[in-house]
Structure 1
Amino acid sequence: MTVLLDLERLSVRYGRIIALSEVSLTVRQGEVTAVIGPNGAGKTSLVNAVMGLIPSSGRIVFPAWPEASRSVEARVRARIALVPETRELFGPMTVLDNLRLGAFAQRHDRSIDPAKQLDEVFALFPRLAERRRQLAHTLSGGERQMLALGRALMLRPRLLMLDEPSLGLAPLIVAEIFRIIARLKQDGVSILLIEQNARAALKVSDTAYVLENGRVELQGRAADLAANPRVIDSYLGVASAAEAQETVAPRMALT
């Protein structure tokens, strides 16, 4: 599978504080790659460094688009999109204008039809279509997250990075957001998912990394990590341990 992003010994410092220490990670085309871990593990620093928003050392390699390594603007032109934890919407502007701004960087690219992209976003988020004339700052938390995600999709991203998309949302809205992530995966969108909700992240991902204290402590296929005793104990809880046991018992009965 084509490698879209390859991090090699990526490190980030804030003065004397080490946020990331020699993190290596790969994102492949058509897959969801999750990075899970506790608060303060360095997850947000990772995507901000990938986007070029903060200084870092090590190598950030975009094999398919080497020009993207040059600047934030070049990465956006290469259709790398970040939905930040804070969403960063333009509150005094309407939902429609926020979405249109998502396609602004590609305004000279004739292969992208903004009207078609808008129709696709509205099909994915019917609530945004209903509120297209509403000001962004009047939306609910879930609607603001949908708008932030929809704006990123207006770029028709080759790589979509989501930073804590479930943060602060009600359980029903969280389930909806992850249903949409699964839908995007089916549509072939490549996603780097930063998420503290390990259970939901591992269910929707192909590959996962566990980040703790700025270092990758575990990595592998998401299904394997979901059955890893350390991950269950630290991130998934007793219910997942019982689920893992239930999946093992039938196999033993058949042997």
Structure 2
Amino acid sequence: MEAILAVIGVGIGALSGFFGIGGGTVLVPILLLLGFDFKHAVGISIMQMVFSSVYGSWLNIRKGSLELGEGLFVGFGGFAGGYISGYITPFIPDRVLQFVFIGFVLFALVRMATSQAHGEESETRSLSKALLFAIGMGIGIIAISIGVGGAIILIPILSGLLHYPVKRAVSAGLFFVVFSSVAGLLGRLVHGEIDLMNGAILGAGSLLGVWIGIWLKEHVSNKQHKNFIVGMYTIILAIMVYKMFFTH
């Protein structure tokens, strides 16, 4: 099982670097298929996200594709929301969390499919710092409760509503995951809901994968990148629907 998890970690890390997600949107369904229950899968996913998001954001800063700016306010909101989620999740049934998960993947799919792939020359819109913090906190509460970093929700907002170039939105999304996943990890450590061994194995594998994913991101066009993101969301949605309604 350890070798399988390490290989999965490399794959999830590559997806994190390329799509700007923490990886939970893909990892949670895979762990469910491997026999983990939902809340253990969420805990392992959160730990892996800490590894991939911290390393990936550092790489993006070095490459000049991540500007901190407004992302800090969204990130601090995500940290607060991610920590709060640790006090909410134990009281919510797995089935409800799974429906929430599907709902947000569907939102992301529709938002990305109907938005333009903005280039670097596009003019981005700005929001107040308080509103950015509130958006981050709301995303953090919901996302960490379902085992994702929140980028799957944030990237469509940045690209579709605020006109961020796709690659900048992806880098900002992964940076957001740093805050939400670290907060989520702290909250679950308090409640003893983290499988440290399996989380560390996946996290270590994801470090190599993140480097690969970010390298690939720099070698595709904005339109191609957007199409890949839409395709990924479609696959994730299909896996979760299959798991919930066609397996027992």
- TM-score normalised by the chain length of structure 2: 0.30
More strand by share: 1
Which structure has the larger Rg?
Answer: 1
Higher helix proportion (structure 1 or 2): 2
Higher relative contact order (CA 8 A, sep 6+): 2
TM-score (norm 1): 0.30
